[in-house]
Structure 1
Amino acid sequence: MKQLFVATALTVMLATSAMAEPAAAPDAALADPVAEARARELFVDIRCVVCQHESIADSPAAIAADMRKLVREQIVNGKTDVEIRQDLVRRYGDYVLFTPPFRWGTLILWLGPLALVLGAGLVFWTRSRRRKEITAPLDPREEAELAEWIRSAGKSDKQDI
């Protein structure tokens, strides 16, 4: 019984140590320093599809590591930067690029902020151009009533003290 327990424990330890052993690192740098520099420049322009606010160069997400590996593989295969970007856009959509291309599908991304600023400016401009409502001055009777009200309010404040 004791031998069975020891054998099971050793099997479990060996299995867990084998699982903990990392596979080939996806972030292994390219041997050619020029190609690696080119890959790193591309990493900065490509958005992580999980983090969304980070480039794949800065993202710790597993998919970012996969995307870095993909970019490096395509550089080794002789693809140009444009071809690599097009492949990523085909896989993940225009959102994967920090600077999406200017076309009908991305028009709102490029012109939306400008339209919002112009619309807000138009609203402020039209509100400032409205006619100000001029208040008519008080007639003598109304002035006398106001003066009486102020005097009576002043007396009641003095009585409260």
Structure 2
Amino acid sequence: MSWRLALAALALLGATAASADSNRPPAPYAYKQLADPAKEAEATELMTELRCLVCQGQSIHDSDAEMAGDMRHLVRTRIEAGESPDQVRTFLIDRYGSWVSYQPRLDRQTFVLWLAPLVLLLAGGFLVLRRMKRRR
């Protein structure tokens, strides 16, 4: 009976891993560059500033994840349609949140992110000065 349970568990494990990748082809502009070199340069620069939602540590330019390919397609399609990189970035931030950008804008949600280094630097300076006064 235990070998049947182990076989069923193995089958479920294999089915889960196999269903992680989709069978659909990649988006047309996921791996194909734009014909206009200037627009492709804009798209490439923007793609290096956007975080892959699957990999989390890579930009969509560097990631091989299917989601990153879809996002590359979206960036190239919108740039080719005449949108500026800032408009495309704003669209993606509105859609996925500030986390998608390696350069998040200053707003209520990211205020602490921008303020924390300054506060930590001031606190460290204060502690160093206080310790130096004690030694004198």
CA distance in 1, matches of 2:35, 2:101: 26
Relative contact order (alpha carbons < 8 A, sep ≥ 6): 1 or 2 greater? 2
Q: Deviations over 1:108-139 (max 9, x none)?
A: 2222112112112212322332377xxxxxxx
| Alignment-mate amino acid for residue 92 of structure 2 | L
Normalised TM-score (structure 2): 0.70
**Pair member with larger Rg:** 1
Determine if the alignment matches structure 1 residue 117 to structure 2 residue 108. no
From 46, 67, 73, the equivalent of 2:71 is 67
- Corresponding residue number in structure 1 for 2:40: 36
Q: Deviations over 1:17-50 (max 9, x none)?
A: xx97945553222222222122111111112122
**Alignment map for 1:57-136 (pairs within 5 Å):** 57-130=61-134
What RMSD in Å do the two structures reach over aligned CA positions?
A: 2.4
Q: 1:85 to 1:60 in 2, by over 3 A?
A: same
Q: Deviations over 1:40-80 (max 9, x none)?
A: 11111112122223211111222111110110111122212
Q: Which range moves more in the overlay, 66-75 or 102-111?
A: 102-111
Runs of 4+ with >4 A deviation: 19-25
Normalised TM-score (structure 1): 0.61
How many percent of aligned residue pairs carry the same amino acid?
A: 43
- Corresponding residue number in structure 2 for 1:140: none
Q: 1:86, CA displacement in angstroms?
A: 0.6
CA distance in 1, matches of 2:134, 2:113: 33
Unaligned runs of 5+ in 2: 1-21
CA distance in 2, matches of 1:88, 1:127: 47
CA distance in 2, matches of 1:39, 1:76: 9
Q: 1:110 to 1:21 in 2, by over 3 A?
A: closer
Q: What is the aligned residue count?
A: 114
Q: 1:101, CA displacement in angstroms?
A: 1.3
- Corresponding residue number in structure 2 for 1:8: none
